[in-house]
Structure 1
């Protein structure tokens, strides 16, 4: 997938027809998992990011959004404002070429009916339509975590990209939410999502290693989220222990796209200070704080610091 290019005129048409004057419920109308987003129905259980005439050097990005009750503001922000900011700034700043984005919806595999949803990789306005198809289930549970590592499993086992297979260039994977990661994901839980049972249970660290073979893995914690505000120290410790400097914390969710772009810029070799200074006003302040300590990716291996 990944033909075409994202354009402001296409975005204006999408916004006029789909989001302007509409509430979150009027935009995200799905009452169950959409077949097109069901990982168990993915063609050959794989999502592909391929080079094309319009995107000859494709760079795959996975953006995993927590769709439980406390995080509904994040997909709403992305479908109204965040998506064009993300594409425009990657095009303008050019930290990587030819972005192709896959959105994932993340819930709780223990309690939710749709704990993982996955779009195709797209480079044009069709990704906005797929984003709008996300089922905002709400849900979650009392276990103080969401199943973010399901995205790592899917990325490691069920994605195929020309970027890595032709050029040995890793893609970028961001999960976003306000809770901790679980310690493990069982084979039975993966079967619930994928319809195919693996031969073993996985520790979360195993899934991180699996995804990190072909993906630069980051997690962004939304500090405005209910769960973060009530379990700040536990959440910070959990993600820092897993990802080190790649555990990012964002004080203003309306700067999410800017943080994703900034993280890619820094990982591709720009200094964190220079990147923060390239933004204006409050955005510069937020990005500076969120990327403090983040440094260039080594582009190979896991690129993850364990505490």
Structure 2
């Protein structure tokens, strides 16, 4: 997947159909769609490699780069889903196309829930390069669940990226894509064989820890997490846990600054591609640059060897 190119006119047409006054649940699908891996399994619809998401080079995208953006859709996280649909996803795409920190971005969106409590804890779109990025984004289902069990299943996206994506970027050019998870909670810590079987229909012989899942995802992707600060009592503890798990790959943004999310993602990718912080921020106005700089301060620059190591 990933043909076509993103046009401002297509976005304007789509955006005109979405009211800012409605809830996130009214913007997004009120049903489960074909973008749910579990649905592919339950209905046994395996034609067309529905269990695999592919980012392939094409005439439109001769050097495609896969970018996965996963966001927490549990409980009170509707504001994040709404911001992505109304503003941030368009800004992310526009920034990447305009400033070109990576070549030919193909973006896949993912809705993340709780593998121990939700019916559909992971939903994924296809890798796309045009307005279908946002058309498929708003076709995801906001289950709004979560189990009150001390975390969410961000690790499902790491497993998915490692085992259920293919891309010319890393298969042909030994270059990594990008994976971001965004939310306000800790990760649940591991995935059991039963969870993986239920959600992906894969057989694994033992429990996979977050550390092992990250290592698997990081073979092909530069993996980052963005913690949303929303004045929870334990948010400092949550942020520390993420920093321990992913040192130099985790940052934080306050809920009230969520409109700067696209700028932060762009800045992280730019720095990871070798730009200095100043170079990454120079295209932004002062307000955006200041907010992005605060978050960027937690992110380490690239190591000398950033390509895939087999």
Superposition TM-score, scaled by structure 1 size: 0.92
Taking the aligned partners of 1:146 and 1:193, their CA distance within structure 2 comes to 15
Shift of 1:230: 2.0
Taking the aligned partners of 2:207 and 2:197, their CA distance within structure 1 comes to 11
Q: Give the corresponding residue for 1:49.
A: 55
Q: Give the corresponding residue for 2:284.
A: 279
Q: Give the corresponding residue for 2:198.
A: 192
Taking the aligned partners of 1:30 and 1:73, their CA distance within structure 2 comes to 16
Classify the secondary structure of the residue corresponding to 2:25: helix
Taking the aligned partners of 1:236 and 1:98, their CA distance within structure 2 comes to 32
The change in CA–CA distance for 1:91 and 1:192 in structure 2 (over 3 A counts) is same
Classify the secondary structure of the residue corresponding to 1:230: coil
What's the CA shift string for 1:94-152, capped at 9, x where partnerless?
10011100001100011111110011000011111111111111111121100000000
Determine which of 242, 255, 260 is the counterpart of 1:255.
Answer: 260
* Residue segments in structure 1 that go unaligned for 5+ positions in a row: 303-307
Determine which of 48, 59, 64 is the counterpart of 1:58.
Answer: 64
Higher helix fraction (1 or 2): 1
The change in CA–CA distance for 1:295 and 1:237 in structure 2 (over 3 A counts) is closer
Taking the aligned partners of 2:67 and 2:284, their CA distance within structure 1 comes to 22
Taking the aligned partners of 1:48 and 1:106, their CA distance within structure 2 comes to 19
Taking the aligned partners of 2:21 and 2:242, their CA distance within structure 1 comes to 37
RMSD, aligned α-carbons: 1.7
Q: Give the corresponding residue for 1:174.
A: 180
Shift of 1:18: 3.8
- Correspondence 1:37 to 2:42: no
Q: Give the corresponding residue for 1:305.
A: none
Classify the secondary structure of the residue corresponding to 1:45: coil
Superposition TM-score, scaled by structure 2 size: 0.91
Shift of 1:39: 5.0
- Correspondence 1:183 to 2:189: yes
Determine which of 113, 119, 122 is the counterpart of 1:116.
Answer: 122
Taking the aligned partners of 2:15 and 2:21, their CA distance within structure 1 comes to 10
What's the CA shift string for 1:42-83, capped at 9, x where partnerless?
625210000111111101000001001221111111111112
Verify the 8 A CA contact 1:5 1:54 in the aligned structure 2. yes
What's the CA shift string for 1:183-203, capped at 9, x where partnerless?
211010111211233222101
The change in CA–CA distance for 1:36 and 1:233 in structure 2 (over 3 A counts) is closer
Verify the 8 A CA contact 2:113 2:153 in the aligned structure 1. yes
Verify the 8 A CA contact 1:34 1:133 in the aligned structure 2. yes
Shift of 1:87: 1.2
Shift of 1:293: 4.2
Determine which of 91, 100, 123 is the counterpart of 1:94.
Answer: 100
Taking the aligned partners of 1:181 and 1:171, their CA distance within structure 2 comes to 22
Taking the aligned partners of 2:192 and 2:33, their CA distance within structure 1 comes to 24
Shift of 1:301: 5.6
Determine which of 282, 285, 296 is the counterpart of 2:301.
Answer: 296
What's the CA shift string for 1:200-243, capped at 9, x where partnerless?
2101100000000000000001113x6xx221221111100111
Taking the aligned partners of 1:39 and 1:291, their CA distance within structure 2 comes to 35
